[in-house]
Structure 1
Amino acid sequence: MKSMNYPRKGKFIPFIILQYSGLLSLPDYYEYKWMNILHKHLYSAAIYASVALVSLPLVLESAIFYAIHDTTELLRRLFEAFGCFIFLTVSFVASFKVNIILTLYHDVREKILTKANPKIYEKYEKQANFYQRVTLTLCVSLLVSFIVETWSPMTTRNCEVYKNVYHLKPPYRKLPLTIRTPFLDSYPWPVYIFLYVSEMHLCFLCFASFYFVSGLQTTIALPLTGQYEMLCEFIRLIGREHRDVNGERVFYTDIANGNFLYRTETELFGKHRLQRMTQSNRREKYKIYEKYFVRGIIIRHQKLISCKQRYQDLMSSLFDNLMLVPVFAMVVIAFYQMFFLRDQLFTVEGVKILIEFLIMVVVESQFVEVSEKMDDCHQAIVTTISESNWYLCAPEVRRDLCLVIRRCQQPNHLTFLSGLLVMNHSLIVYWLRFSFSFINFMKVTEVQAVILSKDSQALLPSPTSRLHVRRIDQLSHRGRRKGFGFPDEVSSYFS
């Protein structure tokens, strides 16, 4: 049995990483059938079983049952738990939709993406490569920061957290993730190495999943916007004579690839139809070509809409299952960490927090930017049609253009939760407002806690005041027996 010829570089790298990490099983990836079966039913199943039964429960247990007594540590652990849960769950869902993803990837890269305008094609390819490099750099940097932090000196804050929050006994050893393992002591070197490798493997799986999700944006969604821009170049030619760069009149036969013919009317209209036309009836021939040209534009537009809708359905199936709530929580926690831990930005932990913040910014900006570009593409089509010479076209051609305008006037943003959540710039503003409101709430809560602690310390009686209170109670008791004594308000005040 022969293996399928999957690409080994370029935009397919996220799929290859998930294949070797065990989070995805590509059909017929290996040459032998038994290797594909072992990879899918043994290796991949073991990876997901270990994550679902061991890793995620321990991460949640460390956050809920131990770190809950410290607000900063609780939010740190929740950030890690949400990150593991989101990206690994997305990879798990994608493993069941691998055929749909590969079909969409193949259709976009091989059939939809064309080089009708090489400049526009190269521009969007450079943007996709830039986003892919930025995402890979952030993932590698965060992975390195996890490693460097484990070998950095132990701070007083770390010792207090290990002792008071996780109830560990000294001497302490740092691990990439602060996960409380109830039945394992991390001090012996064999146990420490096992836990270290296991936690780094969990981090690698999360980063591979994040890189895969980001790759769907750069390999499918972003290049589609370039195809819309190429389509607008042809829409501008409606109602005009079509000529090449040398001024020769041409007749376009393929809108997608930009193929055209040089005044070969026989090939364009057909021999029998051309015989029925007189040489003086050029307008009739132009109407036939005009209708054919606009029909090609409509077909190309429908293909782009269909491809975008398939991408929308794929992303909705990956993120609609309560995935957006943890993503929203991670954005808020990332802002909180940047604000409250700004004094530690020049430490290893601060650099790690900064990279985590940048990763959340990249995730948010990629979704919103691609969604806004898709909506702008429809607006650009409407604007281009209005600026063309549409009024010179035949009535049936104008009717077809009206249908295109009607379709493009509908919103084209990415939506989730059946349209309840729309990925646009207003959503970013809402996230920012909520994040800063959460920061202000935490700041006020922290100030109130400090004030209450100071007041409680001031109200605590000293040893000498306790002697005075005891003496006053004795005198008050003796006075009551004799018919007089201190009022009850005085005794209650000192007590």
Structure 2
Amino acid sequence: QNNNKVFIPSEENIQNRLQNNNKVFSFHFIRWKISSPSCIQLIIRTYQILGFLPSDNSATSNNNPGKGSWTQHLHHCLNWVHIFLYIFFAGSHLLNTMFRSIHYLPVMFECILEDAVLTGIMTAAVILRMRIDRVKSTIQLMEKTFSTADIVLVAQSHWKAFRILATVAVFFMVITLGILLERVTRMTEDELMIRRDLYQTKYPGRRLLVDIWIPGLDETEYYWIYVTLFLVQVYATIVCLMTAYTGIVTLIPIITVHVEGQGKVLCKHIERLGHPHKDLSTGNTIFYTDIVKNQYNMLASSKNSKLGETIEMSTIITKTFPEVKNFNDNQNTFTSEVNNSREDQLRKLRAYERDYFRQLVKFHQQLLLFEKQVTETISPLVLIMVLGNYMGVSLALYQLVVYSDQSKFRLFKFVSELSLALFELYIYCFAAEILDDFHSRTRTSLYFSRWYACTRSTRRDIGMLLRRLRKPKHPNFYWGFIVINNPLFVGLLRLCYQVVNLMRLKGARE
């Protein structure tokens, strides 16, 4: 009787275990709490601080304009200062491109590239501001539906997201450093003559971080005006431009990285299809009620007793335990009842198998729905990314190939810009391949599962799922006009090379 004893955990132990499984992965970095999806929240919060997006307290302050604190009013003024600085420098730089740099081809191409970056960021910020409700609903959907049961996979997704964010930020800082080094180095006599004829300023050697033109004002005539404009440009570049650019570029790859982590969680559960589910810490049989939250029912199995395990499986599924409690009182009677109810137990196990597969399909459908929602939200950003990086690669490559006799700091800046544009294209295409690999990985997981041990109805449902997984899943936008994948990366590189050769031939004829 002691060997056939069934151990039943208390309700308190079960609740504590479920609460531990449902904890959201989070950690602390200095004073900030990092939680899922922290990188996307960091981008949105940064845009709110800079004023590109409305803050969470904007609705309250609009309803009660006189009840806001002085810090909120100060932050509101700072937001307008950032917006004014960005629009002012972007507009004055565009005027410089249209009326000054157009007379000298190398400078004109450089200014066009800078205008493309400034205009693209401004357009993307306006689009995000118009679709802020969709972005917030996407973040809420990630927080509510994404699984946090596997801490290792969640931590890997966080680490990949932070690496992408840090890499783009470092690239931008390197480009800014190259521009600073170019501006502080002494110019040759030929370069001074070109700038004197082109810009018609009193001191052509005084160069700003980004060339601008303010009608009726010579920015180099007075030293204090030059220093003020230079410092303000450095502040706007580091605080506004770098953070905004990094957020725009890395938003889509970061979301894809988190989707990849969820796909690994799904594949891990798919491989368990047809296998007995065991708890890794205790080795007991478990029955999942929610694979996303990692909720399951579990009873400790009997030692050296196959009968005890049979009783356990029956009692867990029905979620009733009075029969087990009376096991020691009338063992022979209960054994005969178990033998007579094997068909009923088998039916319940098949019902659990169907329920488990239904949970897998539901999780898969949630991920597909999330991908569709993200695709509809970010489609304008993808168009800006493709066109902007195409212009960046073409113009930077043209500067390096045609005007290779420039200063070393200027060449360093163009090499950094070309590397950043190529890296952006690569991470976008790599993110698209991750989504396609998610389907192929799901098919592989079904192959390695014990699908042949499942019931006939479950195998039929697996066949229906495989039919959906056979199609490629590269994200497409604008009715399939733009399909993000590795062939797009290669095609854009070929197109940029052809455009650069065409520009070289045209310049040689002239």
TM interval, short-chain normalised: 0.7 to 0.9
Q: Give the deviation of 1:231 after TM superposition.
A: 0.6
1:25, 1:39 within 8 Å by CA — same for their partners in 2? no
Tell me how far 1:369 sits from its aligned partner.
1.0
Change (3 A) 1:150 1:242: same
Equivalent residues in 2 for 1:328-477 (5 A)? 328-342=390-404, 344=406, 347-449=408-510
Partners of 1:403 and 1:59 lie apart in 2 by 57
Paired letter, 1:100? R
> TM-score, with normalisation over the residues of structure 2?
0.77
Greater shift, 138-147 or 367-376, is seen at: 138-147
1:303 aligns with 366
Q: Give the corresponding residue for 2:388.
A: 326
Query: What is the aligned partner in structure 1 of residue 91 from structure 2?
Result: 57
Q: Distance in 2 between matches of 1:443 and 1:49?
A: 39
Q: Which amino acid aligns with 1:230?
A: V
Give the aligned partner of residue 211 of structure 1. 246
* Cα drift, residue 342 of structure 1: 4.9
Deviations 1:355-376 (A, max 9, x none): 2222212221221111110111
Contact 1:19 1:26 in 2 (8 A): yes
Listed as ranges, the gaps of 5+ residues in structure 1 are: 1-5, 450-495
Query: In 1, are the aligned partners of 2:49 and 2:79 still within 8 Å (CA)?
Result: no
Residue identity in the other structure for 1:249: T
What SS does structure 1 have at the residue aligned with 2:296? strand
User: What residue in structure 2 maps to residue 28 of structure 1?
Assistant: 57
Query: 2:204, 2:351 → 1: CA distance?
Result: 86
Which structure's relative contact order is higher, taking Cα pairs within 8 Å and 6+ residues apart?
2
CA drift at 1:49: 5.1
Q: Distance in 2 between matches of 1:49 and 1:115?
A: 41
Unaligned runs of 5+ in 2: 1-30, 62-66, 300-311, 324-336
Whether the 8 Å CA contact 1:287–1:394 is kept in 2: the answer is yes
1:155 and 2:155 correspond: no
Q: CA deviation at 1:295?
A: 0.7
Q: CA, structure 1 residues 91+201, in 2 after alignment: closer, same or farther (shift >3 Å)?
A: farther
| Separation of aligned partners in 1, 2:339 and 2:128 | 57
Q: Which amino acid aligns with 1:89?
A: T
3-state SS, counterpart of residue 252 of structure 1? strand
Q: Secondary structure at the match of 1:303?
A: helix
Moved more, 411-420 or 72-81: 411-420
Query: In the aligned structure 2, how far is the partner of 1:126 from the partner of 1:8?
Result: 15
Aligned amino acid, residue 47 of structure 2: L
Deviates more, 1:69-78 or 1:286-295: 69-78
In structure 2, what residue type is equivalent to 1:292?
A: D
Q: What is the rounded CA distance, in whole Å, between the counterparts of 1:225 and 1:317 in structure 2?
A: 23
In structure 2, give the amino acid aligned to 1:257.
K
**For the Cα contact (< 8 Å) 2:85–2:236, is it kept in 1?**
no
Per the alignment, residue 312 of structure 1 pairs with: 375
CA gap 1:49/1:175 in 2 versus in 1, 3 angstroms? closer
Percent of residue pairs bearing the same amino acid type: 20
Q: Distance in 1 between matches of 2:51 and 2:191?
A: 34
Q: Write the distance in 1 (CA, Å) between the matches of 2:74 and 2:364.
A: 40
Provide the aligned C-alpha RMSD in A. 3.1
TM-score (norm 1): 0.79
Which of 237, 243, 248 matches 2:272?
A: 237
* Cα pair distance change 1:102/1:158, threshold 3 Å: farther
Indicate how the Cα distance of structure 1 residues 137 and 344 shifts in structure 2: closer, same or farther if over 3 A, else same: same
* Higher alpha-carbon deviation: 299-308 or 117-126: 117-126
Deviations 1:366-401 (A, max 9, x none): 211111101110121123223433233223323332
1:211 to partner: Cα distance: 1.3
Cα deviations by residue, 1:306-365 (Å, 9 ceiling, x for unpaired): 222221122114444x664334212322332343455557x3222222222222122212
Matches within 5 A, 1:31-50: 33=68, 38=73, 43-45=78-80, 47-48=82-83
1:469 corresponds in structure 2 to none
